[in-house]
Amino acid sequence: MPEDALCKIVHQYNKYPIPRDDMQKLLEIADDYSKVKNYVYEHYGGISSLCKIYPGYTIQNEMTQTGLRGQLGLPSVYFYLAIFDALGDIKTQWTKTKSKVASLVGRNESFTSADRHYLRFILKSSNAFEAILNQKAVELPKDMQILYEEIASLVDTEKLNRYLCRQVRKHYAKQHTNITSGFSLSERAYRYGNHGIYISIKEKRKRIFIALTDNNQYVRQIYIKLYPEQNRIEINVPINVTIKYHEDYVNIIGVSMGIYTMLTTHNGNQYGKELGKYQIEYANWMRIQTGIYNRNRKNNPGRKKYEDKKRRLTEQLHSYINHELNCFLQTEKPHTIYMIKMPGSGMKHVNPQINNIMSMWQRGYIRKRLEQKCKEQSIKLVEVSGKDISNECSYCGKIGIKQKGIFTCPFCGYSEEEKTNTARNIKKRGTQIEDYRNIL
């Protein structure tokens, strides 16, 4: 991917309901796809296969010799994609395990600096890591071997190697998937045409045709999600989006995120003033529908109308959020945006209706979309610690009083709308952090 581009997922949908026979053929591919992945997880997910997973062609050759593809009757375009999908998952799991062990090493107070240096060296050297887990002698290239021996001479390697093996056994878990509702396709497994897409199936030289709602065509690896109950599919296509640079985007903005007003800037501008109305409507409807369903669960009420309206309300809410975020960026023209680090969603209130509204707050979606749009427009987004940030006076920095949405400082007399005061503190704290980093 080019340096001035980022990856974005676009979606395509079927235009007409998919026939049951065609859906069954796609489900068979998805089922076999998961079987191949589980085979790879089981046989190559352990420590003995660490030397094989990079880059993975050894496993590909061994999988070819197993005869599993012939037993399943799965075309090679799906078989080898499933192998490398599973290998990607295994690599990710090993990366997470190494990060977890490295974090534990840093927090272990019984280790000396030499102990930590040795363990971090092993975690960063794939060959040394694999050798120690498999109880083998560490053999590295000449320069690395000399460095390893120097580091090892300062510590008790037997004790530290046992610690490393113990932590890996504790935190690494072999994977397994029960997902049979989707699979990846390479360029050879499909082709676009006649306002739709032709997809290869398990029968030789045969493809099924699915009409699509758009005429866009792509040449890259895609992923198909199956919804057999609704007779539909969703195609996820990763595309590269060119990053835009704006010479007039020079402002430094602090923003405060709210439930009723989506964003308030440090200079008092507000965006998404109708967000509260949409969210309350959505939350109240969800609460009422959940109560109706729970009371009539024995009668098994249909959920199709519920799912359709839920989707419409969600799309309406998300469309409004994206529109307001676009207005925010085009109006404020920011070079840097400072935003508070949002707390977890474990807040509880006595009123269950408030709990329901808080649980439906779209802050995660707002943050995700703002991050994506900032990346696309080459805008810097910085998160600021939010401890006591709404209680401080943005003028003198002392703790003030909040009443009915208005912040008042008893020390300097400063008075401002609470959200604007918070946004100003966010900007102030963010610029202080940036100044400190520049000094360092």
Average pLDDT, the chain: 88
Closest CA to 366 of 332, 319, 402, 400: 319
Do strands 222-227 and 263-265 pair parallel, antiparallel, or not at all (unpaired)?
Answer: unpaired
- Per-residue pLDDT tens for 53-86? 988 899 999 999 999 999 999 999 999 999 999 9
Query: What is the rounded distance in angstroms from the CA atom of residue 69 to the CA atom of residue 202?
Result: 11
Closest CA to 188 of 349, 75, 25: 75
Backbone angles phi, psi at 411, to 5 degrees: -90, -45
DSSP state of 186: -
> Which spans in 244-378 are helix H?
275-295, 304-332, 352-359, 363-376
Side chain identity at 9, as an amino acid letter? I
- Per-residue pLDDT tens for 405-436? 888 888 787 888 888 998 998 998 888 877 76
Q: What is the pTM of this model?
A: 0.77
**String of DSSP letters for 109-135:** TT--HHHHHHHHHHHH-HHHHHHHHTT
- Per-residue pLDDT tens for 80-132? 999 999 999 999 999 999 999 999 999 999 999 999 999 999 999 999 999 99
- Per-residue pLDDT tens for 270-296? 999 999 888 888 888 888 888 877 777
Q: Are 9 and 224 in contact (CB under 8 A)?
A: no
Q: State both tokens at 297.
A: 């669960």
Determine the pLDDT at residue 300.
Answer: 60
Q: Report residue 375 CA to chain centroid gap.
A: 15
Contacts of 412 (CB under 8 A, 6+ apart): 393, 395, 396, 398
Exposed, middle or buried: residue 165 (CB in 10 Å: 0-12, 13-18, 19+)?
Answer: middle
Give the dihedral of Cα atoms 28, 34, 35, 38; nearest 10 deg: 180
